[in-house]
Structure 1
Amino acid sequence: MAAAKALFPVLCIAAIVASPAARAAADGVKEVGDYLRGLNALQAEFRQITIPADGGAELEAKGTFYLLRPNRFLWEYDNPSTQRIVADGKRIYMHDTELNQVTHRSQKAVLDGTPAQLLASREPPEEYFRISNLERDDHRTWAELIPKTQDTDVTKLQIGFVNGELDTLLMEDRFGQLTRFIFTDVDRNPQLQYSMFRFERPRGADFLAVD
């Protein structure tokens, strides 16, 4: 469950100066709003890299991400183990297919301050985050988001765009663990069906409610 837990312990540096580099970085806040505006659905391949706070070995996972706004998403992990995380708008189900075990809990209790909340909610991101521009010396346009709620394990998010497209999400939790999501083959507003986000209880699976 390490890869799934990295997502939901459950997925940001304000300074603007009058220089060309900083003016480019200042577009990060606008980029967040522009990207979310008109976003109805999303499909992408992802690579997830988690760096433990204790300096232990990096954990890496890969899979496919599906999003249908509002508040429905599906993470399908296919490496190193097969897992599914499904949000149906009310609850989140985490299914470890190797253990045939499902844990589930209230979606709102899990999402506050997470990348999933940023992407899945139709509310303006300023409703949940303090957003600022982040200057970084690479080819991405960055913004930093600090959750407004105190009742979350996530302390900050950083989101990077390339040519207006979602490229990278960085998440830091209150334990100091860092998780990086790298997105490829991003398809904006594909035709996704609501049925994809209905969780069917697997036959014979342990079914554990967290709340």
Structure 2
Amino acid sequence: MRKLATLGVLLWSVSAVALADARAELQQKLAAFERFSADFNQQVFDEQGEPMQRADGTMQLARPDRFRWHTVSPDESLIVSNGTDVWMYDPFVEQVSIVPLEEAVLNTPFLLISGSDGQRWQQYGVAKNGADYVVTSKNPAELIKEFSLRFDSASRIERFTVIESGGQRSEFTLSNINTAPATGADSFQFTPPAGVMIDDQR
């Protein structure tokens, strides 16, 4: 019995070290670039794995915590983080919601990619699965159950997958990747258009 207990402790220790190493490795890869931009293609699958819809758009990020996610088709939407607050704009319903960054991370973990707060990563487990880094939340209340990232030969993000708590899966493929894009001063700011309903949750 003592041998089994010792073996269990040893396996747990090896597993914990592997998870810590995977998290440190992922953070190191993400920290290698201060800015990033790309076009994305999104494919959404339902809980049974059947394709539901496709979407296209662009993304930009700059450290720390600045992010711009613009879906252009089939329906337009925009998520913008200025490093403190996050705007989520839906032109179709003419409404923008504003939430604090830390609250937005719970439902939009992409913001982890642009973050530089090591403490924030302590709330997530990271494992290596082949070429993918798989990130899982320790908070069961989060909308996103799991997301994974894959890097190309130049250590640039080329693909990521998001699995929601209900089982829906989105796969994103990136193109026109740039790790030194020119970003304007207003790239990570959002001014609501006239007449838009504002839901300010700050």
CA distance in 1, matches of 2:190, 2:116: 22
* Aligned length in residues: 181
Task: Report the structure number with the largest CA radius of gyration.
Answer: 2
Matches within 5 A, 1:43-62: 43-53=37-47, 57-62=51-56
Q: Where do 1:55-70 residues align within 5 Å?
A: 57-70=51-64
Deviates more, 1:64-73 or 1:116-125: 116-125
2:33 is aligned, of 26, 39, 45, to: 39
1:149 maps to 139
* Uncovered stretches (5+) of structure 1, i.e. residues with no partner: 1-15, 17-26, 136-140
Q: Distance in 2 between matches of 1:30 and 1:85?
A: 27
Structure 2 contact 63–114 (Cα < 8 Å) conserved: yes
1:131 aligns with 2:121: no
- Return the offset for 1:123: 2.3
Counterpart CA distance in 2 for 1:43 and 1:86 is 14
The change in CA–CA distance for 1:184 and 1:171 in structure 2 (over 3 A counts) is same
* Counterpart contact for 1:113–1:148, Cα < 8 Å: no
CA separation of 1:123/1:189 partners in 2, compared to 1, >3 Å: closer, same or farther?
Answer: farther
Q: How far apart, in 2, do the equivalents of 1:161 and 1:210 lie? A: 35
TM-score, normalised with respect to structure 2 = 0.78
Is this contact kept in 2: 1:115–1:169, CA < 8 A? no
Q: Write out per-residue CA displacement over residues 33-90 of structure 1, whole angstroms, 9 at most, x where no aligned residue.
A: 3421232111100011221226665121101101111111111111112221111222
Instruction: Name 1:24's counterpart in structure 2.
Output: none
Q: TM-score, normalised by structure 1?
A: 0.75
Q: Which has the higher contact order (CA 8 A, sep 6+)?
A: 1
Q: Which residue of 2 aligns with 1:175?
A: 166
Amino acid of the structure 1 residue aligned with 2:123: Y
- For residue 76 of structure 1, the aligned residue among 67, 70, 73 is 70
Find the partner of 1:108 among 88, 97, 102. 102
